[in-house]
């Protein structure tokens, strides 16, 4: 019951918090807690699954489908997270297929991209994130239901954070890539959020950057400071 009690306290904190009314808040819950999260969270707060598979049904023991996510009342799914790519070995192509199937199933998608430390040090950040974005874009049927999340792998759970200037540089280049390869409308409207050791201490400076539209928050989302991060652009 300890884990359930922790989630109840976390949800109560969110439900009673004064949240900036121009900020869309989505909580990514483990799959077994999706129904619990959706039932307990205030309806102003969205719920996302942390992953899904790329087909509707079949012999895929342990996987979760968009239909299952929707049955729990969740509206979003996070796809391509760095751990899915680099721990579980998901390819760009598989992530693209997941994006396509999730959108076809009427889920909104937070699609993650980002480079590893050795790729940044080798000066290939742009090449890596453009290639990842290309495969995602080839599978997007409705950009209005997609949020891009730039999360440099070297800054996830490490305590290291991309400087505001580093985050802005990549976000700006991603928006330029969308302008050149998708459309002006998509480049102007798509939200590009930053993930990577975001805390109450750095969120406001990051949020002040022109092309940083929000955050994909990890460990800090389990702490009271999450409310301050949500309201960083207020």
Return the active site residues: 81, 151
Q: Judge contact between 186 and 178, C-beta under 8 A.
A: yes
* Nearest CA-CA partner of 74 in 95, 51, 56, 90: 51
Q: Quickly tell me which residue has 């307990």 as its tokens.
A: 40
Q: Where are the alpha helices (DSSP H) in 87-199?
A: 92-104, 117-121, 125-138, 164-181, 184-189
Burial of 167 (0-12, 13-18, 19+ CB in 10 A): buried
Distance between CA 53 and CA 90 in Å, rounded? 11
Q: Residue for token digits 């019951």? A: 1
Dist CA 98 CA 107 (whole Å) = 11
Report the residue count for the chain: 234
Burial 195-217 (b: 16+ CB within 10 A, else e): bbbbbbebbeebbebebbbbbbb
Q: Which residue has the tokens 């959108």?
A: 103
201, two tokens: 């201490």
Three-state secondary structure call for residue 92? helix
């Amino acid at each position: 019951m300890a884990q359930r009690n922790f989630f109840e306290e976390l949800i109560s904190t969110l439900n009673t918090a004064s949240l900036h009314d121009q900020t869309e808040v989505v909580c990514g819950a483990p799959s077994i807690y999706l129904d619990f999260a959706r039932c307990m969270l205030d309806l102003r707060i969205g719920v996302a699954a942390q992953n899904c598979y790329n087909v509707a049904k079949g012999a895929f023991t342990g996987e979760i489908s968009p239909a299952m996510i929707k049955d729990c009342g969740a509206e979003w799914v996070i796809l391509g997270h760095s751990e899915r790519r680099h721990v579980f070995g998901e390819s760009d192509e598989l992530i693209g297929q997941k994006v396509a199937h999730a959108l076809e199933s009427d889920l909104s998608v937070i699609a993650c991209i980002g480079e590893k430390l050795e790729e940044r040090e080798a000066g290939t950040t742009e090449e890596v994130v453009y290639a990842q974005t290309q495969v995602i874009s080839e599978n997007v049927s409705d950009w209005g239901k997609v949020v891009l999340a730039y999360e440099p792998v070297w800054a996830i759970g490490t305590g290291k954070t991309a400087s505001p200037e580093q985050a802005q540089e990549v976000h700006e280049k991603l928006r330029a890539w969308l302008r050149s390869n998708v459309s002006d409308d998509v480049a102007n409207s798509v939200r590009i959020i930053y993930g990577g050791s975001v805390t109450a201490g750095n969120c406001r400076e990051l949020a002040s950057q022109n092309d940083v539209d929000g955050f994909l928050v990890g460990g800090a989302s389990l702490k009271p400071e999450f409310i301050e991060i949500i309201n960083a652009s207020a």
